[in-house]
Amino acid sequence: MARTKTAFATLDSRSSRFVRIAGLLAAVAAAGGAAALYMEHEGHVVTGMNNQIVWGLPHVFAIFLIVAASGALNVASIASVFGRTVYKPLAPLSGLLAAALLAGGLAVLVLDLGRPDRLTVAMTHFNFRSIFAWNVLLYSGFFAIVGVYLWTMLDRRMNRWTSAAGTGAFVWRLVLTTGTGSIFGFLVARETYHSAVMAPLFIAMSLSFGTAAFTLVVSALYRIEGRPLGDAVLGRLARLQAIFVAAVLYFVVIQHLTVAYTARGGALEAYLLGGPYAPMFWFVQILAGTVAPLVLLLRPEFNRDRRNRLLAAGLVLLGGLAQVYVIVIGGQAWPLELFPGREVTSAAFDGTLGSYDPTPAEFLLGIGGVAVSLLIVAVACAALRFLPESLADAAVDPHHARADA
Amino acid sequence: MKDVKTPPSAEGRGDTVSRRSLLGAALAAVTLAPGITLYAGPAAAAADGAKRWGLLIDTTRCDSGCSACVTACGAEHGWSDAGRARPDQAPQWVRKVDVRDPATGRTASLPIMCQHCAKPPCVDVCPTGASFKRADGIVLVDRHICIGCRYCMMACPYKARSFVHEPVTGQRPGSPRGMGTVEACNLCVTRVDAGGRPVCVDACAGAGRSAILFGDLDDPGSAISRRIREVAPARIRDDLRLDTGVYYQGI
């Protein structure tokens, strides 16, 4: 087929624009590293975390990045597993972004440990009853399988294995996100989490966040050198994006209905929909992160403009970050119910909503992880030929070319 | 200095005792140089799998204004020493909780600590196996392999565990602690291994309440087993079927 001739080229790492962007990302990553050192030296006493909100803003960023990572592999999966060749030129970048987002997320997760110096302990002591330990294996395996997948795509001699490797990576990523969701879903004692819906909810979130991240990253990369970028690929991705946003909304609604239906869930639902985290839920997650993108992506008067699609992708990521915040922080703030139906008080905050005020150090660590991910992508694209020279419509879509002719 | 200084034998796992006791016998007093001893701790006693240590708390004897058990525990294990942690960050191995039934107005006051579950969720979720249960039912944290992920704190239904948020000073022998790791009531394992009782039990008796009874739940003839048969106490969140080792009378 003619289209297998797609020409790939590296980014010019000496261009002033590339240097500026990479320098900025490196600076933010370094600031995140400094914040981690500070937290490691002083202890978590300098964070907003406490014995009730034990996972704070760094976990929000880490989970957000890890969830987005598996979704960023979508484009490659669609090309290799479902045979949609129009996505094929972007499949290597999709694999790269997936691995980079996972690396950034894991960096934040590890640096927020109480003892990050004991990472080797986590790699050598496994309790196989722990879904956390399983995640360590799933994350490591993801790097390995995506690495092999990238190899089959970038090395012409290995091309015949691409479909098999892509299928393996696709299955693996579904299992991985199931594992991430189950970190919460398996928590029997916490009524804000204990639900089988957490796994499919996280899979839907990954599809949505990953697609949005990919859309923004590919647009940014093509802007750096002004390479041609048509609508054939991004237009299709925008339609997928709308479906994924709706899927996330579906699982969120199901989750709330399940809680609201039971008598004892009333107070919890009132808290979720009207408590201190409700403004973030309604205004950022639902309005900005769900309704607005759906309007921008589905209404014909908006969705033809590429800027609106990029805006929608940005809003999806903003809403996604808020959604993870509401799940992680809001879910922990709800007090454990030790004595159902009784009023409980203590000097140790029993029966009261947990409070959490994140500190700048936590934010820097989290945003540092984002910078690490983007820096990996930028450096890899300068070192290896991940990017097609042109993504003009005629180059990726023969039907489009014929229509033009 | 974050590393715990106490020899691990202080909270030895029952399943590694033979190796430990062998080491202990060999190294009990190897003096490398005057004043520098390689290993001087006593050989760990075997955690006896035929026993299941537990507590029975009589809430009818427990007074809302009394926190003798909390104070004694803090002093024994050194977790109440003032630092710069905020109140919600401060360690709390045991806490006093007041419970009120809005339907009847009945109130009760009781201490809540690690419930030493037979099926502890903290042990299930711990990625490295740092959370573990001894053969005699005492649930502990191995501070040497705890990575500080706090997943056990997410999983514990009783909010029994604390994260050490700041550098630790004034550690007590037998109570290893370290910044960045998770800790909880260890049922005064060193006292118990030496044939004693948890300090909260003594403190409660010293305060004239004697609301806490300690003993072997697996021995039908023990005082605690007999009292449990007699008064039919409750366990907190028994619906979760974790088979906790702490019973409460009068709630």
ipTM: 0.92
Which of the 8 DSSP states describes residue A399? Answer: H
pLDDT tens figures, A130-156: 999 999 999 999 999 999 999 999 998
**What separation in angstroms does the CA of B104 have from each of A71, A268, A400, B99, B108?**
53, 23, 75, 12, 12
User: For position A400, what pLDDT does the model report?
Assistant: 62
pLDDT tens figures, A337-377: 999 989 999 989 999 999 999 999 999 999 999 999 999 99
**What separation in angstroms does the CA of A282 have from each of A298, A314, B175?**
21, 17, 47
Lookup result for tokens 């809403």: A319
Tell me if B9 is assigned to some domain: no
Query: In terms of residue numbers, what domain contains B81?
Result: 50-249
pLDDT tens figures, B82-91: 789 999 999 9
pLDDT tier, B7 (very low <50, low <70, confident <90, very high otherwise): very low
pLDDT tens figures, A10-34: 999 999 999 999 999 999 999 999 9
**What separation in angstroms does the CA of A344 have from each of A160, A263, B184, B236?**
64, 19, 21, 13
pTM for this one?
0.91
**What separation in angstroms does the CA of A197 have from each of A135, A259, B4?**
18, 11, 41
Residue B138 CA to residue B217 CA, distance in Å, equals 12
pLDDT tier, B20 (very low <50, low <70, confident <90, very high otherwise): very low
What chain A holds in terms of domains, given with CATH numbers, is: 2-338+360-399 (1.20.1630.10)
Dihedral angle over CA of A282, A288, A294, A299, nearest 10: 120
pLDDT tens figures, B36-72: 544 444 445 578 999 999 999 999 999 999 999 999 9
Q: What are the phi and psi torsion angles at A198 (to 5°)?
A: -60, -40
**Cβ–Cβ of B163/A114 closer than 8 Å?**
yes
Tell me if B8 is assigned to some domain: no
pLDDT tens figures, A65-95: 999 999 999 999 998 888 888 889 999 999 9
**What separation in angstroms does the CA of B135 have from each of B126, B138, B139?**
18, 7, 9
Domain count, chain B: 1
Residue A125 CA to residue B152 CA, distance in Å, equals 16
Dihedral angle over CA of B136, B137, B138, B141, nearest 10: 110
Q: Does the beta carbon of A348 lie under 8 angstroms from any beta carbon of chain B?
A: yes
Q: Does the beta carbon of B120 lie under 8 angstroms from any beta carbon of chain A?
A: no
Residues of A in contact with B163 (CB under 8 A): 44, 49, 51, 54, 114
Asked whether the predicted pLDDT for residue A248 surpasses 80, the reply is yes
Tell me if B191 is assigned to some domain: yes
Tell me if B32 is assigned to some domain: no
Residues of A in contact with B148 (CB under 8 A): 113-115, 118
User: For position B44, what pLDDT does the model report?
Assistant: 54
Contact B165, A43 (CB under 8 A): yes
Contacts 24+ apart (CB under 8 A), B13-21: B13/B47, B13/B132, B13/B134, B13/B142, B14/B46, B14/B47, B14/B48, B14/B49, B14/B134, B14/B135, B14/B136, B15/B135, B17/B44, B17/B45, B17/B46, B17/B47, B20/B44, B21/B46
Closest CA to B132 of A130, A116, A336, A138: A130
Q: What is the CATH number of the domain that holds B105?
A: 3.30.70.20
User: For position A225, what pLDDT does the model report?
Assistant: 87
Residue B126 CA to residue B149 CA, distance in Å, equals 8
Interface test with A, best of B1, B16, B97, B126 (most A CBs within 10 A): B97
Contact A213, A67 (CB under 8 A): no
Q: Which stretches of A225-285 are DSSP H helices?
A: 231-261, 265-274, 278-279
Q: Does the beta carbon of A306 lie under 8 angstroms from any beta carbon of chain B?
A: no
Report the Cα A335 to chain-centroid distance in Å.
28
CA of B141 to nearest chain A CA: how many angstroms apart? Answer: 14
pLDDT tier, B13 (very low <50, low <70, confident <90, very high otherwise): low
Percent of chain B at pLDDT > 70 equals: 82
Q: In what order do the strands lie in the sheet with A343-346?
A: A343-346, B94-100, B107-113
User: For position B134, what pLDDT does the model report?
Assistant: 97
* Two structure tokens written together for A304: 């033809």
Lookup result for tokens 């955690």: B47
* Two structure tokens written together for A221: 């990369």
User: For position A398, what pLDDT does the model report?
Assistant: 64
CB pairs under 8 A between A and B: 178
Tell me if B76 is assigned to some domain: yes
Q: Does the beta carbon of B112 lie under 8 angstroms from any beta carbon of chain A?
A: yes
Tell me if B216 is assigned to some domain: yes
**Cβ–Cβ of A127/B112 closer than 8 Å?**
no
